Structure 1
Amino acid sequence: MINTSFEQRAERRNRLIGLLRSEEYWKTSDLREQLGVSQRTLMRELAELKKAGYPIESDRGRGGGIRLNGRWGIDRLNLSHHEVIELILSLAIMESLKSPLLTSNLKAIKQKLFQAFPQEQRNAVSNIRKRIMIGDNAGANTVSRYTEPAQALSESIAEAFLRQRCLEIDYQSDSGEKTTRVIEAQYILLNWPIWYITAWDHLRSSSRMFRIDRIQNARMVDGYFQLRPIEEFIGAYTPYYKSI
């Protein structure tokens, strides 16, 4: 069981970090009032944060105070738009898989990261999460015939999915039939570890499901697509999947 005083100190330290981020300067008297602590306790907390690597500075004189130098936090990583989206989606997928180990704080981590990003990126992530569906784990027989796709292929599929771009694929069915077709990667389903694309297939003019490890080549082509309701693709199986 975690010691209550430890939890209180951790919460107080997180509040202090949040306060320092919220304003350019803070007077120590104002920080003490916000946290409800003594001068000695405040100085100890600031010293601990410095030791942990936080760039805390103090300016003497009128108008000075305590500050957190520069931009400090997740934005210092300089993540690209797609990297931000992939980071949040990866955490959401891991949370949905409900692993019994090393995932107890995933929800809190995901929420903190989510709130740290600009509204535009939060909106993009929210929309994409609705298009990724998680079901039960794949059966042993299915997994035994699974081959992990090449990274370059997976990246092409992911980019087309995120950008809602049409994708031309070379596909080999379970029976060995090979076809080339243009698809719209509308939704992605995961029956761990097998990923499927539920797509609108231009060749058949209907919805189809494609196992990603059976896609031999993939390349984006001209054209964007509009989303269709998930029920058009998985129909009666909809209750067995949940979006992340």
Structure 2
Amino acid sequence: MDKYAIIWHIKYMGEHHFEKRAERRNRLLGLLRSEDHWTTADLRTQLGVSQRTLMRELAALKEAGYPIDSDRGRGGGIRLDGRWGIERLNLSHYEVIELILSLAIVESLQSPLLTGNLKAIKQKLFQAFPQKQRSAVSNIRKRVMIGDNANKFLLSAYSPPPQEISERIVEAFLQQGLLEIDYQNEAMERRTRVIEAQFILLNWPIWYIIAWDHLRDSSRVFRIDRIKQAKLVEGSFTLRPKEDFTGIYRPFYQTI
């Protein structure tokens, strides 16, 4: 075997060993979460490893911060603290932003129940961003506004838009991309427009886009359940001053 083959073999074996160990460690975590406690004998049987290997894996998990306890004697065993939270989540940039915005919206509704930890959760998510990106997230929050609840008349004709349309609106809003919409007005007339989603407004449960309309070259409000089609088109926009939306933007609107 030449030296290159030996190097490849060593590299392959190292990567294979690492993957196998990571898989075993994840399985061990799953077992610990599945029951209140385990004996070392049961864990060894489930994993097919020696006592030495099991103790090494448990020590590695403790070192990584997992609160693993062990008790001696009858009724004891090894357990993962039941109060331990979820594993690390791999969320994309925009998934975290949407989660922060959603939590802020729920917080703004001032529900007396199930909202005690929202501020702390929101802050932890916000801190996950690098310092330079936090100002960008804060600016996005300032573009989300909360108004009054929708009245009964509006609710009687409201139905949530299709998920695909909602996703295109959010994408255009967050990325400041131009959005082409097929919009139906109160007179049931439909027209295609290209808009800039400068702000979004919630009059619970109805969402509106406060936009700059390229067709009219002026500010307009679009109710999202009247948008029949939506797609991103080439181009982007810069944020306009609130003065450009005089007559639409209300000082009493609460930003999140």
Runs of 4+ in 1 over 6 A off after TM superposition: 72-75
Alpha-carbon distance, 1:201 to partner: 0.4
Q: Please give the per-residue CA displacement for 1:61-95, whole angstroms capped at 9, x wherever unaligned.
A: xxxxx73359x988921111111111111101111
Aligned to 2:88, the other structure's residue is in SS state helix
Measured in 1, the distance between the counterparts of 2:234 and 2:129 equals 30
The one-letter code matched in structure 2 to 1:68 is A
The one-letter code matched in structure 2 to 1:216 is K
Q: Retained in 2: the 8 A contact 1:199–1:209?
A: yes
* Corresponding residue to 1:194 among 206, 209, 222: 206
2:135 is the alignment partner of 1:135: no
Name the structure 2 match of 1:169: 181
Name the structure 2 match of 1:105: 117
Q: Please give the per-residue CA displacement for 1:87-116, whole angstroms capped at 9, x wherever unaligned.
A: 111101111111222112211221122223
2:60 is the alignment partner of 1:67: no
2:195 is the alignment partner of 1:183: yes
Q: TM-score, normalised by structure 2?
A: 0.65
Task: Report matched runs for 1:197-208 at 5 Å.
Answer: 197-208=209-220
Measured in 2, the distance between the counterparts of 1:78 and 1:143 equals 37
Indicate the percent of aligned positions where both proteins have the same amino acid: 67
The one-letter code matched in structure 2 to 1:232 is D
How many residues were matched structurally? 185
Measured in 2, the distance between the counterparts of 1:234 and 1:193 equals 24
Name the structure 2 match of 1:213: 225
The one-letter code matched in structure 2 to 1:240 is F
Larger radius of gyration: 2
Name the structure 2 match of 1:3: none
Alpha-carbon distance, 1:123 to partner: 3.0
The one-letter code matched in structure 1 to 2:216 is R
Q: Please give the per-residue CA displacement for 1:183-236, whole angstroms capped at 9, x wherever unaligned.
A: 011100111001000111011110000000000000100110010122422547
Measured in 1, the distance between the counterparts of 2:59 and 2:65 equals 6
Task: Report matched runs for 1:1-244 at 5 Å.
Answer: 57=59, 67-68=63-64, 76-233=88-245, 235=247, 237-244=249-256
